[in-house]
Structure 1
Amino acid sequence: MAPPLTPPTDEELTRRAQAGETGALGLLLTRHQAPMRAVALSLLGYGPDAEDAVQDAALTALRRIGDVREPAAVGAWLKAVVRNAARTRLRATRETPGLDGLDGLDHLHLRDHEPSHPERLIEQHAMRDWIWNAVEELPPKLRLVLMLRHFTGITSYEEIAEACEVPVGTVRSRLNQARAKLAQELLSTATQSHDAASALTDESRHEAVATLEAWKSGSLPREISELWPAESEMIGRLGRPDRRVHPVPVMREYVEDGVRQHVRHVVASRSIAIWEMDVTHHGAVHRCPPTLAWLMFRRNGRVDKLRVVFPRPSA
């Protein structure tokens, strides 16, 4: 009779997780879920805030497992992450009633020119595809607020509410739901293989650059014209509530007026793409803010709806 298998130690799992083995991190989080929840309950009491703190901590652990210097003591590290997440929520409640404070992924609110931009952070870890495949499983409305909050410069609840044309309370609710579902999806898919996620963003960046060049030259190559079919619709501030407006003539009007857009950052899932632009308008009649973002909702690979949003300038 074969001796029973000895389960891997925390140290073994931590080292395997640090080497990029997603299943090992999933096992660690499952093993320590009860003590992590106990810490959250001790600080926040029973209720959704405690559960949110645990979920935030799980996402932080996902991103920062490489920071653990004593793999055998990963349990204490995880509890400290939960403690920080809970205290952040307590501070947020005191300082900004009705809104969450910083959460487990807020260190992703960075810009393209910074050396620790989120896409570069993700590239450093073999877990990148795991994260993005889990994001893809979120319902579109939840996926959009999560992408805006954690992977673009449109990060405040007010900005996200304006971009999505929903109340601030709805943004908070959707973010909470998105984090909860994302944490569940990450745990449930930790041992599976995942499609390469970077290809979507690379392709979308190419489309962004090609679209701007085509609209500036006035000639749409086939690949770009297919991206913007006749049924594409401009919605939001630049749309028309009384009739369907196609994005191409709207954006061409600004190009012809001298407004120029330059791709700064792209983030994309299969059905949602966000292009962040820097804007110049030397001699233009229309005065645009220095930055704007294209929120594109795609169907069968083509743009179904485009909403252009204008983030508020940072203080």
Structure 2
Amino acid sequence: MGAVQADAELVLLAQAGDAAALGVLLARHEAAMRAVALSLLGYGPDADDAVQDAMVVALRRVGEVRDPAAVGPWLRAIVRNNARMALRAPRPVPVAEPEWFARPADTPTPEEALDRGAMRDWVWHAIDALSEPDRMVTLLRYFSDASSYEQIAAVCGVPVGTVRSRLSHARRALAGGLRTAATAAHADVGASSDARWREGRDMIATAMRGDFDRVVRESWWPDAEMLAPGGLRGGIDLAIHGMTKDLTDGVRQRLRNVVASGDVVIWETDLISPPDDPEHCPPGALWLQVLREGRVRQLTLFHPVAARETGRPAAV
């Protein structure tokens, strides 16, 4: 690929599925992106986060760039928005996107936005190649409601600094892969994703019929561990007891999102309180499942703070 290719041509190639073209764009504009971050945040991890988050946005959203010739300002604007968010409040940098460079959209969920991109197979192949800890924080950060550093730390049971470090490593790996060689063909992830969705829907439906015991016995290891809100820790019996109590109380769950990569599977469900007690339970739950040979070896149950409550943009 020639270095003299114009930005507009590279954007069109990237939108057509040429991941290497996006790698050239990121390498070409990285210095300018970093200059914006440093001018607003100074040297430190926040500036690195702003640049790396912008690269992940580009990886997932380049297909929505309306003006290919303006990709440089688009990338710098993402960095600038993230940096300003970091300055306004002492919370983690949310991944923002400059709307004036993007096509009007119907606010797709992150996984829908990714599925619409021609490079989705390469992206998921790259995520699969991450270590389990890096993959876990990446899925939570970019594909779930538990996306703030504090919430990820709570779900994973590690300090916020560890979350930052793992995310930084994961983003460098993703962007670095683009810079080097991202042209190899990779298997279509659609079939695997559909299978995970069907599996999740079937299991939740079975649980709602009062047969969660069978779901757990068939899909969990006998020595599986469950970590529940409030510091509760137990095994299969704790999971069955919790679901049985919810059903007895009239609580129902509806599967809303499934994200999976390798041995990490995330379910997000809407929790529906009984009509006579509308405040009985939080609005949603996140099931972080770590598998071994296809069966659950650890489940962490978490109640995320909704995006609208944290100030994170709905479409990232």
Matched, 1:81 2:78: no
In the other structure, the counterpart of 1:208 is 200
In the other structure, the counterpart of 2:137 is 145
In the other structure, the counterpart of 1:23 is 20
Matched, 1:311 2:297: no
Please, what is the CA RMSD of the aligned residues? 3.4
Kindly state the Cα deviation for residue 184 of structure 1 after the two structures are TM-superposed.
1.9
SS of equivalent to 2:271: strand
In the other structure, the counterpart of 2:281 is 288
In the other structure, the counterpart of 2:314 is none
Question: Whole-Å Cα distance in 1 between the matches of residues 230 and 195 of structure 2?
Answer: 26
Q: Which has the larger radius of gyration?
A: 1
Amino acid at match of 2:295: R
CA spacing shift, 1:62–1:216, aligned 2, 3 Å: closer
Amino acid at match of 1:310: H
Question: Whole-Å Cα distance in 2 between the matches of residues 56 and 272 of structure 1?
Answer: 22
In the other structure, the counterpart of 1:59 is 56
CA spacing shift, 1:150–1:39, aligned 2, 3 Å: same
In the other structure, the counterpart of 2:113 is 121
Q: Write out per-residue CA displacement over residues 13-60 of structure 1, whole angstroms, 9 at most, x where no aligned residue.
A: 332112222222223323444454455455555444444333233223
Which structure exhibits the higher relative contact order, with contacts defined as CA atoms closer than 8 Å and separated by 6 or more residues?
2
Aligned residues: 299
Question: Whole-Å Cα distance in 1 between the matches of residues 284 and 66 of structure 2?
Answer: 40
Q: Write out per-residue CA displacement over residues 61-80 of structure 1, whole angstroms, 9 at most, x where no aligned residue.
A: 22333344554x45xx3255
Out of 218, 221, 224, the residue aligned to residue 232 of structure 1 is: 224
SS of equivalent to 1:262: strand
Kindly state the Cα deviation for residue 304 of structure 1 after the two structures are TM-superposed.
0.8
Q: Are the aligned partners of 1:17 and 1:25 in contact in 2 as well (CA < 8 Å)?
A: yes
Question: Whole-Å Cα distance in 2 between the matches of residues 229 and 211 of structure 1?
Answer: 16
Kindly state the Cα deviation for residue 237 of structure 1 after the two structures are TM-superposed.
2.9
CA spacing shift, 1:196–1:47, aligned 2, 3 Å: same
Q: Within 5 Å, which residues of 2 pair with 1:124-135?
A: 124-135=116-127
Q: Are the aligned partners of 2:52 and 2:168 in contact in 1 as well (CA < 8 Å)?
A: no
Q: TM-score, normalised by structure 2?
A: 0.78
Kindly state the Cα deviation for residue 271 of structure 1 after the two structures are TM-superposed.
1.1
In the other structure, the counterpart of 1:110 is none
In the other structure, the counterpart of 2:187 is 195
Question: Whole-Å Cα distance in 1 between the matches of residues 232 and 44 of structure 2?
Answer: 43
Kindly state the Cα deviation for residue 150 of structure 1 after the two structures are TM-superposed.
1.6
Q: Are the aligned partners of 1:209 and 1:263 in contact in 2 as well (CA < 8 Å)?
A: yes
Identity %: 40
Question: Whole-Å Cα distance in 2 between the matches of residues 6 and 312 of structure 1?
Answer: 46
CA spacing shift, 1:155–1:69, aligned 2, 3 Å: closer
Name stretches of at least 5 consecutive residues in structure 1 with no aligned partner: 108-113
Matched, 1:177 2:165: no
Matched, 1:161 2:153: yes
